Structure 1
Amino acid sequence: MCPDCGSKARIGKSNRLSLAHADLYCSCTDPECGHTFVANLSFSHTLSPSSRTSSALVTELVKAMNPLQRKQLQQELALL
């Protein structure tokens, strides 16, 4: 939305500054306004962690176990 007149705005270009932040170059779609501006898009917070992250964490934890602990874990998982 255009911060000047409230009409819809169009993103013409984005400039990613990091994985969590980007500048969005916008222009108002109302020809009488013609406002151009830069908006910021940023990551706020996680609601549900990524499955990839969880899998990587489990893999690293299993790698850190000694052979006896790994065997016990295998036995416990077999019961599920």
Structure 2
Amino acid sequence: MQVLKIFCPVCGHRATIRKSNRKHREISDVYCACNDVECGHTYVLNITFSHTISPSAKSDEHIQTMIENFNPHQRQLALGLLNSSTV
């Protein structure tokens, strides 16, 4: 498992995440401190979601969007198919 490595923007040494503040599902402020005692720089990084590489198996948003665009007849057919596959 790969771990996110944070580096000080001033001296380039490794830094430690001290705290994080989740502002939104896709945005966090990460409070960091340089591990070099001679530097001692503390700063905030903004981490944001960019894009999906492989969709989550837990997501049903795509299916919901498709069903919302169905006409009433298509919805009934889909419901019938779903009910028949669970029996």
Scaled by the length of structure 2, the TM-score of the pair is 0.66
Tell me, yes or no, if structure 1 residue 30 matches structure 2 residue 36: yes
| Identity between Structure 1 and Structure 2 (%) | 41
| Structure number with larger C-alpha Rg | 1
What is the Cα deviation at residue 70 of structure 1?
2.9
Aligned-partner Cα distance in 2 for 1:57–1:14: 33
What is the Cα deviation at residue 68 of structure 1?
8.6
Q: 1:4 aligns with which of 10, 13, 26?
A: 10
Scaled by the length of structure 1, the TM-score of the pair is 0.71
Letter in 2 for 1:20: E
Structure 1: which 5+ runs fail to align? none
CA RMSD of aligned residues (A): 2.9
Which residue matches 2:75?
65
Deviations 1:32-53 (A, max 9, x none): 0000000111100001111122
SS in 2 for 1:23: strand
Whose helix fraction is larger, Structure 1's or Structure 2's? 1
Structure 2: which 5+ runs fail to align? 1-6, 68-73
Aligned-partner Cα distance in 1 for 2:29–2:37: 23
Which residue matches 2:3?
none
Aligned-partner Cα distance in 2 for 1:29–1:36: 10
